[in-house]
Structure 1
Amino acid sequence: MIGSSTDNRSLRGRIATGIVGITGLAVLLFALPLAVAVSQLYRSHEYAELQRDATRVAALVPDNPVDPDHPGPVPGSRDIEARIGLYTPVGVRATGSGPARSVVAGAAHDGRVHQGAEAGTLTVAVPVLSDGIVVGVVRADVPASIVTTRTRRSWAAMALLGLVVLGVAALLARRQSRRIALPLERLTVAARALGDGNFAISPEHSGIREADAAGTALRDTAARLGHLLERERAFSADASHQLRTPLTGLLLGLESALDRPGADLRDAVTDALDRARRLQSTVDDLLSLRRDTGGPAGGVDVELEMSAAGRHWLPVFAARRRRLAVTSPANLPTAMASAAALRQILDVLLDNALQHGAGDVALTAADLGHAVAVEVTDDGPGLTGGAHGDPEVVFTRRAPDAHGHGIGLALARSLAEADGGRLVVRRAARRPVFALLLQVADAVVASPSPSSRSSPPGQPSSS
């Protein structure tokens, strides 16, 4: 099948094979021309030596023509390693060593030096001149096997050197392949750990830019996945906590109406519809907050949201025979927060005051110039602070000693911090105060509101 491959070698093996293969090819491309050059160099050197010896002998030969019928010793040939022969201009040996006839020697009748291979030898023929006329030829030769032997020795040395180079290349390739493949192997381990649910992976720095970039991307991806998973888990817990109270109120209202035989159910149905709409609004807020990815918060009219919270919670507090007062100053500036987050924070704080506080409850706001402060106060004895006396423990999600505060207040604080705000315990002693601090939107001022006033029982103080 086109594009398919059954080669499943490891990256280390591929890198090592590639490095050794390229090195071998480079050695081969370098060694072949060098081997030819060495052979030619030895041959040229031998011809030069033969020509030098033959020229020296030719200088000692008498100027009279060579007569093969009266042979004599070749002058000066005893101290020369090559075979020396004196030939007639037509290539017939007159004296000395060599074949009876020599083509190379016969070619020297033109008065020039000739060389070539002849009968398994390397031969040089130097003419003997007398007044510009060739009267004889000095022929010198050596066995060609001498050059062949020297050439083969050099080739063997080159081959040995090439093997050494390949061996060194193999060692370096093994080391380099390990250096390159190890970061990828670590990334594989990290990816498997991520697949097993470990979102705290941190691949080691390798010094290889691409591998480090992949490790950084994998680490960032793991962090984002972990954050998304944590948001999903938190959403489930937050939704359960925020929906439990309105669902309970809705069910109790319907059950109470059913327990009164013959009673007019219109009021109960109307109240149930109001609670259902509030429940739907809470679900919409939670879904909106869940989809929020941490972008910049918009402006929110704090007074408007406080008034809406007052209208919803006043009947709830009145049913417990407790008073809720909602007050805010005139011209309260617009705060940087999402409306959904502010609604949920106010619901958590008021529900916390209803469930764990005592007496009257006050929801107030103040303009601090650079921030808007929203405070919830009740007449309760204060926060216990847990086993260690630290009131901040109430913000710990599912804290074992937080006496039920944990998940709601933890949600409220996380929502405030997500919008750049803060939720703190301003006073933990008697008449505890929870303070929400929100940044003021630049150059955005809320529309003027009525003067601060307290709301009587049954009516919200701000509209």
Structure 2
Amino acid sequence: MKRNREPAPLRHRVLVAIVGVAALTVALFAVPLAVAVGQLYRNETTGGLERDATWIAAAIPDELTQGGNVPVSLPKVLPSGLTVGVYTMGGRLLSGDGPQTSDVVTSAHDGHVHDAVENGFLAVSAPIPSDESPAGVVRVATPYDLVEDRVHRAWLVMAGLGVIVIGLATVFALRQSIRLAAPLEHLTRAAQALGAGDFSIRAPRSDVREADAAGLALEATAHRLGEVLDRERAFSADVSHQLRTQLTGMLLGLESALARPGADLPHVIGTALARGERLRTVIEDLVRLSRDSRTGAEPFDVRSLLEEARADWHGTLAAQGRRLNVTLSGELPAAQASAAAIRQILRVLLENATVHGRGEIVVDVADLGDAIAIEVSDQGEGVSEDADIFTRRSGHADGHGIGLALARSLAEAEGGRLTLRRGSPPVFSLLLPSASDQE
């Protein structure tokens, strides 16, 4: 089975890319330059030889053209390091140094200067000027090794400079690879810490704007996830309290009936069924809330929800000799929130007024334009306005605690707000976003 190769790390890729580009640039620049330098040095040497050959040819006496028996004399002072010879037009050596025959000499029969590499020498031939046709040829040569040595030294210097450039590029590539890869490595460790449950992660800042932006986004995500998880934990605890409250009430009623001989069993069973139905509604609402948190809430009719609440609580309050009065101020727009969430909030507020309040319970609803206000009040003593009744407390604590904490968290999750507008007599105010304001 073919194994997938592990991708190369970013540091290695950046290093290879920068050094590779630098090496390719040096090669593309150095190779043509090396060829040009070699040609330049040869042309420079050839030019010097041409000047020497022309000067020597001009210094040879013209008697050479008068016959073949006149000895040829070269200038007494000749450039050092050069091989100088005088040849006939047929390429035969007459005087001086050089090979007995030379191809570059025979090329000068056209009266022009020629150069070529022969027998390990760079040779230049120049015709000897005469009143008639050239009578001979001067051949000046220098060892070609000297030219090649000069070219090779230049190439070594260029190669050394290329190595230095590639070395500097490597150092730069190492620094850049660390600079670019380090922020991503920090982000990887931060993401791993987030996956392990650490929502207080902080990604170190770097000079890379994109990496810093990703770090800030990761930190913001971690903060939001932490808040969501905290809310979910608190919500779960509050929900379990609400369910236990309903279930405990139903069980206590049944146990009390069993403990009393002659208890009105039909009434007890009817009460238990009503509480069980209420518990079923609570569970359905909580399931619906969980689904709505993912899909979004649809607008709902506030009036129908209030009528439903009136029907649910009428019997309980009537048994206590109390009334539930729902007042609506004109036409109401739909509310942009989850009906299940608002039903639970109203249940908490009405249960709070039923258990801890006295007298008539009033639910007043008004359209505020961009919001819908629902106020729940009763005639009880209420609570001190300094008391933090929306703070979640232990499930064994007396008072309002967990129910109101759940109600506020539900309201805030729906974009609303739940406050205690007046402490005594208590007035709770629930503000919900209006669906007409969302259009």
CA contact (8 A) 2:120 2:143 kept: yes
The corresponding residue for 2:345 is: 345
The answer for the alignment partner of 2:432 in structure 1 is 438
TM (norm. structure 1) is 0.83
Structure 1 runs not aligned, ≥5 long: 445-463
- Letter of the aligned partner of 1:417 in structure 2? E
What SS class does the counterpart of residue 236 from structure 1 fall into?
A: helix
Q: Partner residue of 2:145?
A: 145
Contact 1:82 1:140 survives alignment (8 Å): yes
Report deviation, 1:174.
Answer: 1.3
Aligned mates of 1:183, 1:125 — CA distance in 2: 70
> 1:210-263 CA deviation, whole Å, 9 max, x = no partner?
535644554455355445534532342132122122111221232233334566
1:103 and 2:103 are equivalent in the alignment: yes
CA pair 180-144 structure 1, distance change in 2 beyond 3 A: same
Name the structure 2 match of 1:379.
379
The CA RMSD measured in Å over matched residues stands at 3.1
AA in 2 matched with 1:48: G
Deviation of the 1:361 alpha carbon: 4.1
Task: Give the distance between the partners of 1:439 and 1:157, measured in 2 at CA.
Answer: 79
Paired position in structure 2 for 1:288: 288
Mapped partners of 2:194, 2:391: distance in 1: 28
- 2:302 maps to 302
**Structure 1 residues 182, 264: CA separation in 2 closer, same or farther (over 3 Å shift)?**
same
Q: Which residue of 1 aligns with 2:422?
A: 427
Q: Give the Cα–Cα distance (whole angstroms) in 2 for the partners of residues 297 and 130 of structure 1.
A: 113
- 1:55-454 alignment, distance < 5 Å: 55-65=54-64, 70-75=70-75, 77-79=77-79, 82-206=82-206, 208=208, 210-212=210-212, 214-215=214-215, 218-219=218-219, 221-223=221-223, 225-261=225-261, 265-293=265-293, 297-318=297-318, 321=320, 323-329=322-328, 331-336=330-335, 337-355=337-355, 357-370=356-369, 371-385=371-385, 390-391=386-387, 393-398=388-393, 403-428=398-423, 430-442=424-436
Q: Distance in 2 between matches of 1:400 and 1:338?
A: 26
Secondary structure of the corresponding residue to residue 420 of structure 1: coil
Q: For residue 30 of structure 1, what is the amino acid of its counterpart? A: F
Contact residue 239 and residue 406 of structure 2 kept, 8 A = no
Q: Among all aligned residue pairs of Structure 1 and Structure 2, give the percentage whose two residues are the same amino acid.
A: 49
Q: Is the 8 A contact 2:361 2:379 kept in 1?
A: no
CA distance in 1, matches of 2:265, 2:81: 136
User: Which residue matches 2:16?
Assistant: 17
Q: List per-residue Cα deviations over 1:116-136 (Å, max 9, x = no partner).
A: 112221100111243452310
Structure 2, unaligned runs of 5 or more: none
Q: Label 1:69 to 1:230 Cα distance change in 2 as closer, same or farther (>3 A).
A: farther
Deviates more, 1:82-91 or 1:332-341: 332-341
In structure 2, relative to structure 1, the CA distance for the partners of 1:59 and 1:179 (3 Å cut) is same
Aligned AA for 1:177? S
Counterpart residue type for residue 406 of structure 2: L
Residue 51 of structure 1, CA deviation = 0.9
In the other structure, the counterpart of 1:453 is none
CA distance in 1, matches of 2:23, 2:378: 86
Considering fraction of residues, name the structure with more helix: 2
Q: Contact 1:299/1:334 (CA < 8 Å) preserved in 2? A: no
Partner of 1:29: 28
Change (3 A) 1:134 1:82: same
1:312 alignment partner, SS class: helix
